[in-house]
Amino acid sequence: MPRYLTMIRIDERNSPADGPSPELLERMGALLEEITKAGVMLDTAGLKPTAEGTRVTWSGGKMSCTDGPFTESKEVIGGYSIIQAKDKAEAVEWTKRFLRTHEDYWTITAEVREIIEA
């Protein structure tokens, strides 16, 4: 079965300062338990804020490192999952279910991409 990487994009400037609500964490936990029991989830995690990250760039034969936060970025990757699904439609459906666990005041975009198998 193909594997898919889902990148969860958020706008750090408009995310709740206190992070996810306890209710969101409960709904998310229940869904993650379901997707794991279904044998679909391979790995998932949230990411620390960009203020704690570093971008490493190779351009024009030179290497540069830039410490966060990355204020020029409107959306950043706030988390990811790697799932194994029968097809892209199933991967997208699980992603939709994950997004629906969030309250209405969240603005989240998820990008679902198939992983190229070597």
Question: Which domains, from first to last, does the chain contain?
Answer: 3-114 (3.30.70.1060)
Residues 28-82: tens digit of each pLDDT: 999 999 999 999 999 999 999 889 999 999 999 999 999 998 877 788 999 999 9
User: Is the pLDDT reported for residue 97 higher than 90?
Assistant: yes
At residue 40, what are phi and psi to the nearest 5 degrees? -95, -40
Place of tokens 């594997």: 3
Q: Which residues are within 8 A (CB) of 92 and not within 5 positions of it... i.e. 6 or more apart?
A: 112
Where does 1-118 have alpha helices with state H?
22-37, 88-100
With vertex at residue 30, the alpha carbon angle to CA 92 and CA 114, rounded to the nearest 5 degrees, is: 25
DSSP-derived secondary structure for 2-26: -EEEEEEEE-GGGS-TT-S-HHHHH
